Amino acid sequence: MNDHWLTRERSITRLWIVFIAILTATVLADLTSERHAQFGADGTFAFGAWFGFASCVVLIGLAKALGYLLKRADTYYGD
């Protein structure tokens, strides 16, 4: 039986709490820093958070579209 600490339900819950706390602290730290915008959108609140999320969504969409275009039939390699 594999009882690795990353497979325990309690560890997974604690990791989620730590990750959410770190992300929240990072976004809230943006309130204390002065922004020097080079473009229009990069001066908005939590630009790194929402831009990173939007980029991830776009990349996943592109990967799915590419997978659809390159997909082969189930019988491509024979039986």
Residue 6 has pLDDT above 90, yes or no: no
Render pLDDT for 22-61 as a digit per residue (tens, 0 to 9).
999 999 999 998 888 998 889 999 998 999 999 999 999 9
pLDDT band at 2; cut points 50, 70, 90: confident
- The pTM of this model reads 0.69
Helices (H), the chain: 9-29, 47-70
Q: Is the dihedral of CA 47, 53, 54, 59 positive or negative?
A: positive
